[in-house]
Amino acid sequence: MGVEGHSRSRNRTNDGRTVPARGLRVTALVAGAGLLLTAAGCGSMPDHGDVREVKASPQVDTQVRVYSVPPRPGDGPRAIVDGFMEAMTSDDPGFDTARKYLTRDASKTWNPGSTATILSGAVPNPAETTSGQNSRTITFKISGERIAELDKQSAYQPLSGVYEQPLHLVKEKGPGKKDTAEWRIENPPPGLVLGESDFQRIFRSVNKYYFAVTAGDSGLRALVADPVYVRKRTDPQTRLDPVAQAVKAVMDGPSAWLRHSVYSRFPSKAALKKGTKTLPIGDHNSLKVPLNTESADADRKRCMDMAAQLLFTLQDLTSSTRIDQVEMMRPDDSSLCTLQKSSASVYAPGGVADSPNHLYFLDNERHLVRMLSASENGPQEAVPGAIGERRMVVRSAGISRDEKNVAAVMDDGHRLNVGPIMAGAPEARTAYRSDPGARETLSAPSWDGMGDLWFADRDQRRPRVMRLVDGRGTAQPVSIERLGEGYVDSLRVSADGVRVALLVVGKDQRKTLKIGRVDRTNGPGGPEVRIVGLRSAAPQMEDVTAMSWAGQSRLVVAGREAGGVQQMRYVRTDGSSSAEGLLPGANQVTAVAASDAEGAAVLAQTKDDGIVRLPPGANWKTLVDAGSMPVYPG
């Protein structure tokens, strides 16, 4: 029922040209059609004929398989190295074909699941560097520009600099007496080495979820996104399908960067029931998760919490097939507990389950106004309360996530006023006042999902980040670990209150985007908060103009790459590029705003076109011709 074809020679295209084959075999199973298609890795694409729609299966796994070609008798060193590099990108169970390019000892010790190094461009092209005596030893070198590495938990770590890995080839005889000696690699790289395009083809980002650690007894238990990468298809080593990979990733615990700020409700030895490799989505969009013995004695509350971690983790992974129910199963196949999606809003990350009611901005006279978030050009109204109704002139504003309170930086840039969003509310109080002698102003304020208010005081004599608990009382400075000589120009706090995005101005006056972790501890004087673990969130951009959260682990960023023009793109908090990539161009963007909720339009302030909005799947449209500082709640 299928045709197989592969070659390391050269393939002829439709126009008569020849191109080198890559030595890979791609097998695609089209569900429902019973058709097995096979093509050489660098084969030709038809350039004529009818275009036909193929309806794919709604399952997560697309059933596309990429298999590599084993070495052939008499293959030279170059063919062995090229074949091994290709085999690292395949779906062969246990990477068995890749191991055939290694010596017997190396094949036993090589662990392709330990790490994955991602290099820029396509698959690296190893170069021969040395030859040993009598041509019995040859060394090649893999080199390229490093982009990132996946650690043993499949967490993405941005990297830079040159990667170099020597590959020593020796001649090794087979087990038979009459076998001739063949070239084999005796020192493979630790883990996998992939080109950027292969990495994007093989892996996809998934948010796994854990509960936030909060100081004191706040009663709030926000779910926090922890992005990792899983394979789009069955994992060659574990043989787990994508859903099972994601479930295992949750059970394995949070990533190293986040583990001190979150916790899991799964026991430390939690795992899937032995022998479980696939987790199919059943009738009524339900998923049954068979647990091992160590997880099976959880009480109902803990079981529901575990189910919530999985339910939210799988929403993005299974976007084409909705999961409405997660049922946790004991090893004897009896039900431990069931969580319905309709009942899971109490677990929504950051406590935010619904889309914001309004979007907010400053009109042409810098008065705070709002508009229904679903409106494209609906009527504006003054924000209820003292700040909006009294038409105070402000520089920037932040709206609490429940849309009950507003914080605004006043016209002088040194006063932060806070008041309720309520018609006829009394005068807003001045919650913070910076040194009036400073030339710099306060940044736009940001509210987390726990009701705390954050902002940056940009006084160059003493720049610092400040926090108002519940938006009340006296602002407290927040220390930032390893900030260096820069200062924070602006910030946005995540809904869960565990992560904060910072625009940091360096000595060269360029702004870079950093993500920090909010560390909450109980000190002698009460809860203490500091920002730790700073890491780059947009390493490809050398100067960032504006940013906003646009999901649980995604930001929308306006900035410029080295030698390039300004662009807007989605980035993930781990520093990887989001699958959505670049946004359509908007000219001279000075501020952006987005919502954690799906379906909300992205807003941008431009120098020439006022405030524009970008609905999902559409182009930019003008919201107001004269306006500035657009914000969503948060």
Nearest residue to 547 via CA among 619, 466, 443, 620:
443
* Residues 321 and 360 occupy one common structural domain: no
pLDDT of residue 456: 97
* Residues 361 and 317 occupy one common structural domain: no
Q: Is residue 183 part of a domain?
A: no
The four Cα atoms 196, 201, 203, 204 give a dihedral, to 10 degrees, of 100
Asked whether 531 and 542 are in contact (CB, 8 A), the reply is no
Give the DSSP letter of residue 600.
P
Q: What is the mean pLDDT of the chain?
A: 85
> For 461-486, how does the pLDDT look when each residue is reduced to its tens digit (9 = 90+)?
999 999 999 999 899 999 999 998 88
* Residues 602 and 559 occupy one common structural domain: yes
* Residues 346 and 369 occupy one common structural domain: no
* Residues 211 and 358 occupy one common structural domain: no
* Residues 465 and 331 occupy one common structural domain: no
* Residues 263 and 310 occupy one common structural domain: yes
pLDDT of residue 351: 54
Alpha carbons within 13 A on the beta-carbon side of 519: 15
Among 303, 324, 350, identify where a domain stops. Answer: 350
pLDDT of residue 353: 55
Q: Is residue 626 part of a domain?
A: yes
* Residues 342 and 388 occupy one common structural domain: no
* Residues 471 and 341 occupy one common structural domain: no
* Residues 508 and 529 occupy one common structural domain: yes
pLDDT of residue 33: 32
CATH number at residue 583: 2.120.10.30
* Residues 529 and 492 occupy one common structural domain: yes
Provide DSSP, 464-519: EEEEEGGG-S--EEEEETT-TT-EEEEEEE-TTSSEEEEEEE-TTS-EEEEEEEEE
Return the SS3 of 273: coil
pLDDT of residue 196: 92
Which domain, by its residues, includes 530?
351-631
Q: Is residue 201 part of a domain?
A: no
Query: In this structure, what token pair is assigned to residue 374?
Result: 């679903």
**375 exposed, middle or buried (CB, 10 Å; 0-12, 13-18, 19+)?**
middle
* Residues 413 and 438 occupy one common structural domain: yes
Q: How many whole angstroms separate alpha carbon 167 and alpha carbon 165?
A: 7
Mean pLDDT per block of 10 residues along the chain (634 residues) reads 35 34 39 30 36 33 69 94 94 95 96 93 67 73 92 92 93 83 95 93 95 63 90 94 97 95 95 96 92 94 96 82 92 96 82 78 96 84 94 96 95 95 90 89 94 95 94 94 92 94 94 94 81 92 94 93 88 86 86 88 92 90 93 95
At which residue do the structure tokens 């657009």 appear?
630
Q: How many whole angstroms separate alpha carbon 421 and alpha carbon 410?
A: 17
pLDDT of residue 426: 83
Q: Is residue 143 part of a domain?
A: no
Return the SS3 of 597: coil
Element at 441 (helix H, strand E): none
pLDDT of residue 608: 85
Q: Is residue 159 part of a domain?
A: no
Among 298, 331, 350, identify where a domain stops. Answer: 350
pLDDT of residue 51: 32
Output the CA–CA distances (angstroms, integers) from residue 291 to 284, 298, 331, 332, 336, in the order listed: 21, 11, 6, 9, 9
The total of structural domains in the chain comes to 2
Give the DSSP letter of residue 33.
T
* Strands 526-536, 476-480: pairing kind: parallel
pLDDT of residue 300: 95
**626 exposed, middle or buried (CB, 10 Å; 0-12, 13-18, 19+)?**
exposed
> For 380-396, how does the pLDDT look when each residue is reduced to its tens digit (9 = 90+)?
999 999 999 999 999 99
Give the DSSP letter of residue 180.
P
Q: Is residue 84 part of a domain?
A: no
Among 350, 376, 392, identify where a domain stops. Answer: 350
Asked whether 516 and 258 are in contact (CB, 8 A), the reply is no
Q: Is residue 198 part of a domain?
A: no
Q: Is residue 77 part of a domain?
A: no
Give the DSSP letter of residue 601.
P
| Residue 298 burial (CB count, 10 A) | 22
